[in-house]
Structure 1
Amino acid sequence: MVFLEDAALTRAAQAGEVTALGLLLERHRAGMRAVALSILGPGPDADDVLQDAALTALRRIGDIRDPGAVGAWLRMIVRNTARSLLRGTVPTRPVDDGLDLPTAEAGPEQWLDQSALRDWVWEAVEELSPALRLPLVLRHFTTQVSSYDRIADVCGVPVGTVRSRLSQGRAKLAAALAATADAAHGDTARRTRDTRTQAHETLAAAESGHFGRLLAERWSPEVALFRGADRVGGGDLLVRAMDGDIGAGVRQRLTDAVAGRSLAVWEMDIVNPSDDPGHCPPTVAWLMTLDEAGRVHRLRLFHPRPLPAMQLLPVL
């Protein structure tokens, strides 16, 4: 009977019903907590993992192929997230292949449910304040900037503040999801395609010597460059730094991108010249706040590997 109820609730959650997902999480909370405690012991880390698992389930409930196995799926999310926390990382694919990954034969209704759920989550994320939105997006939607330490570096705040903002953000996100369940949701897939195209065009413009022109045409004239919480310059500094790297033979290659109405993240690999393999760190994330017209007006550049202390200009 429980198996059948789980399956029915999972299908309802995949169709976007907030209450159904809440019932699933409540039903399996004890088992999820037992897994977290067995790996991490009692304390705030176990609570954080349970919160992370709940949001992961919300984002990815549409992926599950066996609705009756949702309990095992939830416990696996907790187990993998807890283990990754011990390693200092966050898993980008937190559940195993047998339960999580959609097959090539998946019907169009499954992909529709996944897209609708993703759009709904992003619509709710947009309801958060900027201070809560950025840590939540970095934690759950990026591959290189998802650890507490790295989020703290990006935001220029202590790790304890990151934990607090994530906790507040998740609580407010739950309320925002309920409030936006029946609202019109934006097309997140289209935004992601568009931002990937923009990233490729930006890199191409830089390599052809037209980075400054592209910024003048597409970005806000008041664009500000930040390191942590501190403003370090504007568009002119950005252009000089990019032109300097291109002149030195440095190239960037897009590896991942996400975007909402107010925030976009580009994650890049950096390819250094063969005669200077240590010119730049190996990766960089472009964290962009967008204005109402969709133009970049605030940019943070973050290198997951720390830069030398003497470096003054942000490397692009």
Structure 2
Amino acid sequence: MQPSPDGVSDPVLASRAAAGDTGAFAILVQRNLAGLRSFLRRMGAAPDVADDLAQDALVTAFERIGDYRGEGAFGGWVRKIAARLYLRALRAAGRLEPLETAPEAYASGHDAGQRLDLDAALERLPGMQRLCVSLQHGAGYTSAEIALSLGLPEGTVKSHISRGLARLRKDLGTP
């Protein structure tokens, strides 16, 4: 793994944090907090919920820093934690099912030639497509892991991902 611009890699900082260096963990938080909030908003969390979940994910990461093996970026590891917390919050609120019937803002007033940024394009996806695409491409979950987490057949998850990616390509003007 490549060191960051300041010369210290995530695994080195995590190792220091596991040994009690709170300053090392603070650097990991500084590097990852904004991206973590954005990831949660892309999944569909409201800004205030994304902020709370990002903080909860970082607290969990701090408590379990010894579990981080350094096989990938710390940001990816903490995104998986945040994704699990978000899914739990959706289940607790009883909102997993209604996501599938999200309003179709996509169809109204959409100019085919207009290029949208990724955040806006993700917001226009139906909720379950956005969630599945974000879990796979944002948190690195496999379709089998997503299916297990959401209680859906794997084929359904693959379909949501495929349709979501096709719609994103169309919105973003990519082949």
TM bucket (normalised to shorter chain) is 0.3 to 0.5
> Rg bigger for which structure?
1
Q: TM-score, normalised by structure 2?
A: 0.46
The structure that is strand-richer by fraction is 1
Q: TM-score, normalised by structure 1?
A: 0.27
Higher relative contact order (CA 8 A, sep 6+): 2
The structure that is helix-richer by fraction is 2
